[in-house]
Amino acid sequence: MLNENDDLSWLPGETAAAMRDLARTVTGAPPLRLTAEATGLSPAWRRRPPGRRFRWSWGAPLLAAVAVVALAVSLVTVRNLPSRQIATLASTAPQATAPVPAADGVPGYYVALHPSAGRSGAPNGLIVGDTVTGKTVAVIAPPAGSSIVSVSGAADDRTFAVAAAPTAGGPGLDIGFYLLTITPGSSPAARLAQLPMEPQPGVIATALSASGKELAVATANRAVTGGPVIRTLDIYSLATGRPLRSWSTTDTTAIVSDVMPGVQLGAYTDQYPALSWIDGDRAVAFPVLSRAALPVNAGLYSLEVRSVNATAADGDLMADSRVIANLSRDHDAAALCGTVFPLVSGNGTTFFCFRPGATDGHTNPTTVRWPLDWRPNQTNLADSAAWRFFPYIKTIGVPAGSAVYPATVWSSSTGATLIIEWTVVPPGSGGTYVRLGELTLGLNEWTFTPLPAPAIFATGGLPGIAW
């Protein structure tokens, strides 16, 4: 085992040796394919007139592969926001088959990770923007020597918890915690202050309660080298910085964050939280994903949403939590939610799935029409027999060969208003773009309203963001 002060001068050499070991396992190569058809590339280049800029165009095989797009993932903090509502109000007419929650609005402000100095690769600060106009409200520099790795919001659309990792190092560093407070009209419009919490190692997810008073922090660490990974869910008081509750487990399926298990915040710049406060801050929902109990069959995984009573005593995370939605045993997970975590509304009764749509076959050499199929459920999570879905399908046109990554990134506490996004990654480098929109549930259908997607989101897709 290495110690803190161990000399690492041997590491580059050993890293090189390890890489050579792995490289040596490659002893041959498949035959070269030099036809467009064989490589899955469209022969469109043959038609390119002289002098025009070359354009990649991908053919059906790759397109079919891309059709298995990744899906919405995050269990985001869900809040009911009274201010800056822009949603179209739902009809108040009674609905016979299922209660229709009153529509609420989208939060006034978003807070997103943003490379400081506008430079890709620089430590992340934050950018505060107006959800409706897209205008920048404030730009926040990262704490000295740190890069911000995640952000989550309270219900008032003014209070956000921020996690930051030291810049000297990488994944696995102790994460420090800060509070961002937005005060529109004042100068500065937003302030970042350090919270009185001890930095924590191995942080994989955080979520600020709707009240903005407590922070849920999930960690994954080994007590001893080679020992089991212990996943812990702690709840901290922001006022004192002290832990209030703690649950832990060695079950590797618990709190699988939205990146690969064991990867801490900071490994990626666009992580979403995997924890969600529900039931009026009385419980924390977390995802449990496993495939061990199921046959190895692409697309079939055991996916549960569990919740733990945030006011109960410390204990075992799995024993003390209950399943509030089982998305694989009673339903065909592949058809319902794929292998992604659903977004759960703050009232704990609604979840949202995204189902990949297949391209509709209406293609030309450069554009594909692509249906995006959101399937919000508007009934009690626990009663799967009563699940009732209100699908919303949006068809978009994207460059052929694009990868499309749709997601539901925010929900009101009632689940009647959503913010959805889709990121389009055209083939080749560059050209990534993000679209945002608001969905508001009426009687039985959703109304879509575009929201501005600031240009900063286009550099690599939607960054780590909270509303």
Partner 1 sequence: MDTLDAGSAAPGRPYGPPREDAAHAVTALYQAHAVSMIRIALLMLGDRSAAEDVVQEAFFGLFRRWHGLSDPGKAEAYVRSAVLNGCRDAVRRRDRRTRRDLAAAFDMLDPMSAEAAALISEDRRRILAGLRLLPGRQREALVCRYYLELSEGETASAMGVSRGTVKSTTSRAVAALGRMLREGLC
Chain positions 263 to 322 lying near partner 1, rule: CB under 8 A, are: 263-264, 267-268, 270-272, 289, 291, 298-299, 301, 303
Is 225 a binding residue for partner 1 by CB under 8 A? The answer is yes
Q: Which of 103, 111, 132, 173 binds partner 1 (CB under 8 A)?
A: 173
Enumerate residues 65-94 that contact partner 1 by CB under 8 A: 69-73
Nearest distance from C-beta of residue 68 to partner 1, angstroms: 9
Residue nearer to partner 1 on the CB measure, 50 or 450: 50
Among 61, 99, 118, 227, binds partner 1 (CB under 8 A): 227
Secondary structure (3-state) at 18: helix
Give whichever of 271 and 417 is closer to partner 1, judged by the CB atom. Answer: 271
Specify the residue for token string 């009674």.
Answer: 94
Q: Is 14 in the site for partner 1 (CB under 8 A)?
A: yes
Among 182, 200, 407, 452, the residue binding partner 1 under the rule CB under 8 A is 407
Q: Which stretch binds partner 1 (CB under 8 A): 19-27, 90-98, 104-112, 130-138?
A: 19-27
Taking CB under 8 A as the criterion, the residue among 53, 93, 94, 295 binding partner 1 is 53
Binding window for partner 1 (CB under 8 A); candidates: 41-49, 310-318, 384-392, 440-448: 41-49
Euclidean distance between CA atoms 459 and 390, whole angstroms? 33
Distance of alpha carbon 326 from the chain centroid = 20
Residue 246: alpha-carbon gap to chain centroid: 24
- Near partner 1 by CB under 8 A: residue from 259, 310, 451, 453: 259
Least distance between partner 1 and beta carbon 151 (Å): 16
Q: Report the first-to-last Cα separation within the chain, whole angstroms.
A: 42
Residues 147-166 close enough to bind partner 1 by CB under 8 A: none
DSSP state of 79: B
Under the criterion CB under 8 A, does residue 144 sit at the interface with partner 1?
A: no
CB 459 to partner 1: min, Å: 11
For 158-182, the DSSP string reads: SEEEEEEEESSS-TTPPBEEEEEEE
Nearer to partner 1, 332 or 445 (CB): 332
Chain-centre distance for alpha carbon 229: 23
How far is the C-alpha of 338 from the C-alpha of 394, rounded, in Å? 18
Rule CB under 8 A: choose which of 39, 136, 211, 447 binds partner 1: 39
Q: Nearer to partner 1 by C-beta: 81 or 337?
A: 337
Yes or no: say if 381 and 348 are a contact pair by the CB < 8 Å rule. Answer: yes
Q: List the interface residues with partner 1, window 179-208 (CB under 8 A).
A: 201-202
Between CA 234 and CA 247 the distance in angstroms is 6
Q: How far is the CB of 428 from partner 1 (least distance, A)?
A: 7
CA–CA distance, 218 with 272 (Å, rounded to integer): 13
How many alpha carbons lie under 13 Å from residue 334 in its C-beta half-sphere? 7
Beta carbons of 344 and 278 less than 8 angstroms apart: yes
Residue from 50, 94, 361, 450 touching partner 1 (CB under 8 A): that is 50
Tell me the HSE value of 432 on the side-chain side, using a 13 A CA sphere. 17
Q: How far apart are CA 353 and CA 355, in angstroms?
A: 6
Nearest CA to 409 out of 352, 356, 371, 357 is that of 352
Among the listed ranges 134-142, 222-230, 371-379, 380-388, the one in contact with partner 1 (CB under 8 A) is 222-230
Q: In angstroms, what is the C-alpha Rg of the chain?
A: 23
Which of 341, 351, 387, 446 is close enough to bind partner 1 by CB under 8 A? 341
